[in-house]
Structure 1
């Protein structure tokens, strides 16, 4: 499993779009959120839902972590 960080806070951000493609293609199965990725509870929920949907499309489980 590869767990990666990323730049961005929205599914509209270029890095997030690339990450979603990588998840869909089975290249990434773990994501870590850092302070700079978090703006609000709703925003984090939207990101994690997008990651879960991409993983479901790839038929792989995804591990989502948050840095302290």
Structure 2
């Protein structure tokens, strides 16, 4: 997904959730995008942490 596509998706989500136009409420939209990015990064980090745990278990079980 390109940056442009990402922001278009976030604009749609912002309008649906916040009930405001992103072009007229730029500051609120940018805060919304920051929160969404942090949420997505946290989800990715949790997934990586889980996968690393599985990998460690697999390594220790082979020893």
TM > 0.5 fold call = no
Instruction: Compare CA radii of gyration and give the structure with the larger one.
Output: 2
Q: Which has the higher helix share?
A: 2
* Structure possessing the higher relative contact order (Cα contacts under 8 Å, 6 or more residues apart): 1
Which of the five TM-score ranges fits, normalised by the shorter chain? 0.3 to 0.5
The TM-score normalised by the length of structure 1 is 0.35
